[in-house]
């Protein structure tokens, strides 16, 4: 990681870091339940871009009996007992783009053969940096954006259920909706990053797939963003 005159420390292209999310579920609040090793594409005062390669070993939440979370009925999805497991990211890789202080990140997905599929706007807490990566908390609500510039909300039912069971109060939900509306404004104006050509980007073939460290859930000392 390198420093700048303003004190912000940046990673170099090719550096390997962790992209993590904290849990909201009762009894697990604040604990990390998602961890994805990624390779830095670009890191500046304006943008962090990272690549998650196919086959990357990640950590994901699962139900206590090992079933995927989405198999639990919505009414108990956020109250059923959970744990985490290590699993591989299958399919195409994902390019993630995030700007400091912005309450969302934008992910790019491709089909096989690098046919661009869509952008995915993940509403989340502005990311906090530490020496080994960034931490955030997911806000349930998302937006899918397609090459023809059409878009749609995703997971509105999960967003509503999270409020119903008390994982998010009305004030926070209002802030998330405001963030979503701001993101929709960017989409309608076809602003960054949709107009920036990232869909033509390709990873350096020399980059190895990052390994998932044994202490992936360590609590770090955070640094200024």
36 pLDDT above the threshold of 80: yes
The reply to whether 69 falls in a domain is yes
The reply to whether 208 falls in a domain is no
Assess contact for 159 and 138: CB atoms under 8 A.
no
- Angle of helix 156-164 relative to helix 170-189, nearest 10 degrees, comes to 160
Domains held by the chain: number: 1
pLDDT of residue 221: 60
Domain that residue 106 falls in: 2-200
Q: What is the DSSP letter of 211?
A: P
pLDDT single digits (tens) 133-157: 999 999 999 999 999 999 999 999 9
The reply to whether 118 falls in a domain is yes
pLDDT single digits (tens) 208-221: 999 999 999 988 76
pLDDT of residue 223: 59
Q: How far is CA 79 from CA 62, 138, 170, in A?
A: 12, 16, 19
Query: What is the widest separation between alpha-carbon atoms in the chain?
Result: 51
The reply to whether 54 falls in a domain is yes
SS3 call for 182 = helix
- How many residues are present in the chain? 225
The reply to whether 120 falls in a domain is yes
pLDDT band at residue 30, thresholds of 50, 70 and 90?
confident
The reply to whether 220 falls in a domain is no
The reply to whether 211 falls in a domain is no
The reply to whether 75 falls in a domain is yes
Q: What is the CATH number of the domain that holds 30?
A: 2.40.380.10
Q: What is the DSSP letter of 210?
A: P
């Amino acid at each position: 990681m390198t420093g700048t005159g303003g004190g912000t420390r940046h990673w170099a292209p090719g550096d390997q870091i962790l992209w993590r999310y904290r849990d909201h579920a009762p009894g697990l609040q604040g604990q990390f339940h998602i961890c994805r090793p990624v390779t830095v594409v670009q890191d500046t005062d304006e943008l962090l871009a990272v690549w998650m390669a196919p086959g990357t070993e990640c950590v994901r939440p699962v139900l206590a009996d090992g079933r995927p979370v989405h198999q639990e009925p919505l009414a108990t999805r956020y109250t059923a007992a959970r744990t985490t497991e290590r699993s591989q990211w299958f399919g195409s890789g994902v390019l993630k783009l995030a700007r400091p202080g912005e309450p969302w990140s934008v992910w790019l997905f491709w089909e096989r053969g690098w046919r661009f599929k869509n952008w995915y706007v993940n509403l989340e807490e502005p990311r906090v940096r530490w020496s080994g990566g960034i931490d955030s908390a997911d806000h349930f609500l998302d937006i899918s954006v397609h090459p023809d510039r059409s878009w749609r909300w995703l997971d509105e039912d999960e967003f509503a259920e999270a409020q119903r069971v008390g994982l998010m109060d009305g004030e926070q939900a209002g802030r998330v909706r405001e963030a979503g509306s701001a993101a929709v404004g960017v989409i309608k104006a076809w602003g960054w990053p949709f107009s920036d050509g990232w869909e033509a980007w390709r990873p350096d073939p020399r980059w190895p797939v990052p390994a998932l460290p044994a202490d992936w859930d360590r609590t770090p000392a955070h640094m200024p963003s």
